[in-house]
């Protein structure tokens, strides 16, 4: 039986770009190693959740890893919290937090404080706050992100977000999303906490100093993705493989932890566009000794797409290409490279477009695709599949599939 490496390049898919002569960033990038994998393997395109569905990263990952996002997804918060190593108990409501900048009218000026690189100070300031018997726990995540866990009796995750998702819009009041007492109480207490947090952050000496230096102050918590810790069949039980995750960004470590995978940090792999991808790949090859399945996540292309930085995305893809070079020498290993969704840099957000997929297995068929790109892969043997098909294909390619029937 072979081992499997699944490399997810977050937000990789894109649209044709004028400045690249109608090619996508992936097609315009110089990618000899990804192209070599396409040549050796079989290609296709994939709708990670379903055709026409614009997936969130979390739902897309669940689907790709063989879980049904329609029935098993409970919100992003629990993954973020688990990803940064927060202790979570049944009944806790977990939320995603962006540290943001608002003006005096509470209109959002920057949803990420100009991509501030640490929220340590603000998490420490607010961690442990109690309101009405509800305890708020906060921990810094990657860059401008934090995890928040609300612990108390009868809480509900059926609450709205404070994040308006757009700049120059006022932050939103948290509203209950159903008529339950729990949802009403959770919304009320969270609104109180967000007001209290704003009052504390606004006058924080380090924020006043940031303003003096012409920087944006980190003065508001944009919350979203409230969810209760989900109960899922562990990956190892489902696919009969010992699995590990190598990722920089918290969300993906969290998904892996919730699915019972081990999570291993690669030094210098930060989940940002400056992440040390070579170090990450060295770690992948190192851990392959001890595991059957390695899930590797690289975030940068998605962030650059969201920033509208087409050239940056293309250059980052070239860095990925260099980093995957050692994978070409592996023996007895199935390698799959794909994305969780497209993040076209002209749309600044996710799109429902299918994503390119290449699978290289030591044995089996090939096809005529010789370039890893959105258009080229569409002509490959795998055709157009859905995310839920990927794990069965990989398990089969690795010689691990059980026969259906006698």
Q: Closest distance between Zn ion and the C-beta of residue 223, in Å?
A: 20
Q: Is 306 left (phi over 0), alpha (psi -120 to 50) or beta?
A: alpha
Strand duo 93-102 + 108-110: pairing: antiparallel
**Which lies closer to Zn ion via its Cβ, residue 302 or residue 353?**
302
**Which lies closer to Zn ion via its Cβ, residue 36 or residue 306?**
306
Q: Which stretch binds Zn ion (CB under 5 A): 56-64, 114-122, 139-147, 180-188?
A: 56-64
Q: Closest distance between Zn ion and the C-beta of residue 271, in Å?
A: 11
Nearest partner of 219 among 80, 94, 108, 95, judged by Cα: 108
**Which lies closer to Zn ion via its Cβ, residue 61 or residue 158?**
61
- What part of residues 295-314 is at the interface with Zn ion (CB under 5 A)? 302
Instruction: Find the helix or strand (DSSP H, E) in which 304 lies.
Output: helix 300-306
- Angstrom distance (rounded) from CA 209 to CA 251: 31
**Residue of this chain nearest to Zn ion (CB atom):** 57
Contact present, 334 and 360 (Cβ < 8 Å) = yes
- What part of residues 318-357 is at the interface with Zn ion (CB under 5 A)? 340
DSSP 3-state of 72: helix
Q: Closest distance between Zn ion and the C-beta of residue 37, in Å?
A: 21
# of chain residues touching Zn ion (CB under 5 A): 4
Q: Closest distance between Zn ion and the C-beta of residue 47, in Å?
A: 14
The dihedral over CA atoms of 244, 249, 251, 256, expressed in degrees to the nearest 10, equals: 0
Q: Closest distance between Zn ion and the C-beta of residue 270, in Å?
A: 16
The pair of structure tokens assigned to 41 is 């393997």
Q: Closest distance between Zn ion and the C-beta of residue 217, in Å?
A: 28
Q: Is 57 in the site for Zn ion (CB under 5 A)?
A: yes
Report angle CA 360, 364, 366 to the nearest 5 degrees: 65
Task: Candidates 10, 110, 292, 374: give the one binding Zn ion (CB under 5 A).
Answer: 10
Q: Is 92 in the site for Zn ion (CB under 5 A)?
A: no
- What part of residues 129-188 is at the interface with Zn ion (CB under 5 A)? none
Residues near Zn ion, by CB under 5 A: 10, 57, 302, 340
């Amino acid at each position: 039986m072979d081992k499997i490496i699944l490399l997810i390049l977050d937000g990789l898919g894109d649209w044709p770009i004028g400045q690249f002569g109608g090619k996508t960033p992936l097609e315009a990038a110089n990618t000899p190693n990804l192209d070599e994998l396409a040549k050796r393997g079989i290609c296709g395109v994939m709708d990670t959740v379903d055709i026409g569905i614009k997936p969130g990263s979390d739902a897309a990952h669940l689907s790709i890893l063989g879980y049904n996002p329609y029935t098993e997804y409970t919100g992003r918060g629990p993954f973020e919290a688990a990803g940064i190593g927060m202790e979570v108990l049944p009944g806790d409501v977990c939320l995603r937090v962006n540290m943001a900048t608002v003006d005096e009218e509470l209109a959002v000026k920057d949803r990420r404080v100009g991509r501030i690189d640490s929220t340590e100070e603000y998490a420490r300031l607010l961690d442990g706050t109690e309101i009405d018997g509800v305890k708020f726990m906060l921990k810094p995540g990657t860059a401008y992100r934090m995890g928040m866990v609300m612990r108390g009796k009868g809480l509900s995750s059926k609450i709205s977000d404070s994040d308006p998702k757009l700049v120059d819009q006022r932050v939103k009041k948290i509203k209950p999303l159903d008529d339950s007492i729990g949802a009403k109480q959770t919304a009320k207490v969270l609104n109180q906490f967000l007001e209290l947090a704003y009052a504390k952050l606004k006058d924080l000496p380090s924020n006043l100093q940031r303003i003096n230096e012409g920087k944006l102050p980190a003065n508001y918590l944009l919350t979203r993705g409230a969810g209760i810790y989900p109960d899922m069949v562990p990956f190892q039980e489902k696919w009969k493989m010992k699995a590990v995750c190598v990722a920089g960004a918290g969300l993906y470590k969290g998904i892996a932890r919730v699915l019972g995978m081990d999570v291993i940090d690669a030094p210098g792999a930060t989940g940002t566009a400056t992440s040390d991808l070579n170090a990450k790949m060295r770690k992948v090859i190192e851990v392959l000794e001890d595991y059957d399945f390695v899930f590797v996540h690289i975030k940068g292309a998605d962030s650059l797409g969201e920033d509208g930085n087409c050239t940056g995305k293309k250059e980052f893809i070239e860095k990925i290409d260099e980093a995957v070079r050692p994978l070409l020498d592996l023996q007895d290993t199935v390698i799959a490279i794909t994305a969780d969704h497209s993040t076209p840099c002209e749309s600044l957000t996710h799109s429902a477009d299918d994503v390119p997929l290449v699978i290289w297995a030591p044995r089996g068929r090939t096809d005529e695709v010789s370039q890893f790109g959105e258009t080229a892969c569409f002509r490959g043997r795998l055709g157009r599949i859905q995310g839920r098909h990927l794990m069965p294909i990989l398990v089969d390619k690795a010689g691990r599939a059980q026969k259906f029937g006698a």
